[in-house]
Structure 1
Amino acid sequence: MAEMAADGGHGGGNHPLRWTSPMSGFMLRRFVELIAGGVKTDKGFKEVHLNQVAKNCSEHFGLSITGTQVYNHLRKWRARWVKISKLRDISGSLWDDTNYVISLEEEHYLGHIKDHPKDVEYLNVPLENYVQMLAIFGSGIATGSATGAAHGEDGGVAAHGKEPCKDASSSIGKRKRASLMSEEEVLVMSNMSDAVCEVAIAIKSTGEAHPKLYNSVMELPGLARMIY
């Protein structure tokens, strides 16, 4: 992933800001340093943190970068983390914890890429900034829209007409629960929490739910273990 376009704003003139790989890595490392320094992110990074990282990036790269641009870019990395978490659950996949590679056998890989061509950047190649993503998103930190409270989306403050969802880490981050669940199960639970949250928002906004929805959800394989 050589570049990511920032959503809105300009950097250093009239040209749209482009996030290069070095810029992305630098930004993510600044957030990791904030977490290591004791910043609480159970409700997402606050606006002061976004602006601080934006200032760090601006000074380091000689560009004009805003907290909103940092927020939008962090959301993109959070989306990548969710994608990686799902791909690690593919049947037959192997995880290289040294090089951070999701591996598939050649035939399986070719078949998967044929059906999902965009996944080529995630499979059988070292995952860029995996360690940083793990530190930021791996324990339910900065979930939802990746940052949360400062911009009010899925981080404890309602935004754009949506009601906030409870952070997945509040339900799976307890020591007792964590000790009973594997890393893969924690990731599945986190992703499931995000999906259920969206369903709940949709139901509440329409005031209607399919009569068979409850039974369909409760009959999902493995759901009882995740809940209890």
Structure 2
Amino acid sequence: MDTEASGAKAASGLCQWTPTQSTFVLTFLTNIVADGTKTSTGFKKVHLNACTKALNDHFKLTRTGDQVSNRLKTWKKKHVRINYLKNLSAALWDEDEFIVSLDHDHYKGHMADPKNKADDEYLNKPLPYYGFLATIFGNSVSTGQYAKSSNDPIGTDRSEGVSHGGDATAENDGLNHGIDKSVINDDISSSARPAKRAKTIDDTGERPMAWLKHFSVAPRR
């Protein structure tokens, strides 16, 4: 379970995120992009609030839109760092498993620098959440290249300050705040195909149970 420190004046103290909650949020935001919403300048408040409401309704939480926004900032930092690492001259990038590989000598040399200590989280291991990040933080409408299903929980995030803003009720603009109960089982077989809504798992890392059977979030613009 990941923990993010809240603002100094916030009464709630800590904001904890389970892998399933993280996957839920990433799935929701990925589906917004997959439906054709441009996010080059970031998500609109209405989208973040809709995501927050869906998260709270599904997990019986009291998250705020600001907490989801801060979580998104953490993931954006991850995306930037992973892209930096996969473009290192000594790095190999596995496009299928999302693995940034460094051989032993280059790994030791890289990690010898104290400022690179946190990079161990991203090196020589699958990064199942990268597909979500590549879709969410793309510079234009998603092409569907990375919007494929993931059956792995999101990895541990570094802590980040979270401010607590107003309530998470989205503006009345016709967004669907609930969860689409339809089951979507198709994976992306080609980057040329349209982006499909992502599938998720439960906290145990096993296949979805009945209560979380490939949930899909499908906000309408």
Q: TM-score, normalised by structure 2?
A: 0.57
Residue of structure 2 equivalent to 1:81:
79
Deviation at 1:97, TM superposition (A): 1.1
Letter in 2 for 1:114: A
The higher-RCO structure (CA 8 Å, 6+ apart) is 2
Change (3 A) 1:6 1:27: farther
How many matched pairs? 140
Change (3 A) 1:20 1:65: same
**Residue pairs, 1:188-203, within 5 angstroms:** none
Deviation at 1:34, TM superposition (A): 1.0
User: 3-state SS of the aligned residue for 1:90?
Assistant: coil
Larger Rg: 1
Letter in 2 for 1:33: N
Residue of structure 2 equivalent to 1:124:
124
Deviations 1:130-186 (A, max 9, x none): 110010113367xxxxxxxxx9xxxxxxxxxxxxxxxxxxxxxxxxxxxxxxxxxxx
Which one of 30, 33, 48 corresponds to residue 35 of structure 1?
Answer: 33
**Residue pairs, 1:119-158, within 5 angstroms:** 119-139=119-139
Deviation at 1:59, TM superposition (A): 1.3
CA distance in 2, matches of 1:53, 1:103: 34
Which one of 60, 65, 68 corresponds to residue 67 of structure 1?
Answer: 65
Q: What is the root-mean-square deviation in Å for CA atoms of aligned residues? A: 2.6
CA distance in 2, matches of 1:118, 1:63: 30
CA distance in 1, matches of 2:9, 2:58: 16
CA distance in 2, matches of 1:10, 1:59: 26
Change (3 A) 1:112 1:6: same
CA distance in 2, matches of 1:130, 1:123: 13
**What is the aligned-residue identity percentage?**
39
**Residue pairs, 1:9-48, within 5 angstroms:** 14=12, 16-48=14-46
**Residue pairs, 1:105-116, within 5 angstroms:** 105-115=103-113, 116=116
Letter in 1 for 2:70: N
Segments of structure 1 that go 5 or more residues without pairing to the other structure are 142-150, 152-228
Segments of structure 2 that go 5 or more residues without pairing to the other structure are 142-164, 166-221
User: 3-state SS of the aligned residue for 2:120?
Assistant: helix
Contact preservation (8 Å) 1:10, 1:17: no
Q: TM-score, normalised by structure 1?
A: 0.56
Deviation at 1:6, TM superposition (A): 5.7
User: 3-state SS of the aligned residue for 1:17?
Assistant: strand
